Amino acid sequence: MLSLNRVSKYYKVGTFGGKELAAVRDVSFDVDAGEVVSLIGESGSGKTTIGKMVLKLIDISRGSITCDGQDVTGLHGGAVKSYYRHVQGVFQDPFSSYNPIFKADRVLTMIRSEYFSDMARSEWNDKVDAALRAVTLDPGQVLNKYPHQLSGGQLQRLLVARALLLDLKILVADEIISMLDASTRIDVLNLLAELKGRGMGILFITHDLSLGNYISEKTVILRHGVIAEMGATDKVFGNPTHPYTKALISSVPQLHKKWADVDAEILARGGADTGTCLFHQAYPPTAPVTGKGAVKQDSSDLPPTLVKVEDDHYVGCFDLGAATCQVA
């Protein structure tokens, strides 16, 4: 449904924007209906940039994003508005997503004035009730309240309800539970899983591998703006192939396994990989692409092509010896 095709984003940096910094390089993946795709990366990996590009909050530098076959990169005016009818986002900090001066349900009223201005009041109220019930909120508890009177989990669910009022196909969830407490975050996560059952596609952006593993069908591991590994979640987590993915998974704090045991396991399986990436060694992610001090890049300097290692499992690593694998 949503499809990213070789999307890149360069930011202008330095005096007078004389240099370019690659935040996202050549990223392609799809989000299908009824599917949660988790986009996992550390800070600075470009995961939020991708989310913002999908939501058309920033322009893309190269490549294209299509939704239902329609190219969204060049949308203007009314076309953007109808795009937002299908694609919405929820962000990390629930408290700064609301205007503290107005009541929290204003986010719902604004949807009405923008998209449903000719809908009868009773019909609208039923619609709001249904949306709130879908996110397991009690309308009496959240309507007519100010943001500070509600908990973070309630606010976050209210934002999801707001998105549900529209004819939503894609939800971009950017770190929506990292600010919530352990006891409530799992409820919001389960809510996302229920939405996917209604045929919605969800782009779940997170830095937490265990959350991505819990909820998603497909995982995309991002490193410095380049896809390191992607594929079905059980394959990426069960058989991590890129040295970076292996390093990441081995440093996740687990509840029933100590780091020392994890290391011992890796050693038993034939030793740890060094985790250095040839591509990033040659082109440090902090080096500008153009301008003074730039690392010269031509067409042969593209990031490693994603190589298919098994069904629904692709890895971008020079070390894999592309010759032996079938190129995706």
Partner 1 sequence: MSLQVSDLKVYYRTLAGDVKALDGATFSIADKEIMGLAGESGCGKSTLGNSLIRLDGRMRYVGGSVNLDGNELPVWDNQGMNEFRFRDVSVIPQYAMSAMNPTRKIGTMTAELLESRGEKYREIKPELLRRIDLVGLDRDVLGRYPIELSGGMKQRMVMVISTLLDPSLLIADEITSALDVSTQRAVAETLVSFRDHGFVKSMIVITHDVSILYQTADTILIMYAGKLAEKAPTKTIIEGAMHPYTKMLISSLPEVGVRYANKKLSGIPGSPPSLLRPPVGCRFRARCPLAFDKCVEEPPFVKVARDHMAACWKVTGSDA
Q: Which of 56, 85, 106, 207 binds partner 1 (CB under 8 A)?
A: 207
**Sign, Cα dihedral of 121, 108, 195, 66:** positive
Give the C-alpha separation, 302 to 226, whole Å: 10
Complex with partner 1: residue 43 or 274, whichever CB lies closer: 43
Angular region, 87: left φ>0, alpha ψ -120 to 50, beta rest? beta
Q: Which of 114, 126, 181, 310 binds partner 1 (CB under 8 A)?
A: 181
Q: Which of 65, 168, 205, 249 binds partner 1 (CB under 8 A)?
A: 249
C-beta of residue 220 within 8 angstroms of C-beta of residue 51: no
Complex with partner 1: residue 69 or 253, whichever CB lies closer: 253
C-beta of residue 6 within 8 angstroms of C-beta of residue 62: yes
- Alpha carbon 299 to chain centroid, angstroms: 28
Site string for partner 1, 259-298 (x = CB under 8 A): x---------------------------------------
Q: Which of 96, 99, 149, 254 binds partner 1 (CB under 8 A)?
A: 254
Q: Tell me how many helices (H) and strands (E) the chain has.
A: 12, 13
326 lies in the binding site for partner 1 (CB under 8 A): no
DSSP codes joined into one string, 292-324 = TTPPP--GGGSPPPEEEEETTEEEE-GGG-GGG
253 lies in the binding site for partner 1 (CB under 8 A): yes
- Please, which of residues 147-166 interact with partner 1 by CB under 8 A? 151, 153
Site string for partner 1, 19-58 (x = CB under 8 A): -----------------------xx---------------
From 85-93, 251-259, 294-302, 304-312, give the range in contact with partner 1 by CB under 8 A.
Answer: 251-259
Give the C-alpha separation, 291 to 263, whole Å: 42
How distant, in Å, are the alpha carbons of 2, 137, 239, 318, 324 from that of 321?
Answer: 31, 52, 18, 6, 6
237 lies in the binding site for partner 1 (CB under 8 A): yes
Q: How far apart are the first and last CA of the chain?
A: 20
Nearest to 171, CA basis, from 248, 244, 264, 89: 89
Q: Which of 75, 247, 266, 328 binds partner 1 (CB under 8 A)?
A: 247
Q: How far is the CB of 25 from partner 1 (least distance, A)?
A: 20
Site size for partner 1, by CB under 8 A? Answer: 35
Site residues (vs partner 1, CB under 8 A): 42-43, 151, 153, 181-187, 189-190, 193, 207, 209-211, 213-215, 233-234, 237, 247-249, 251-256, 258-259
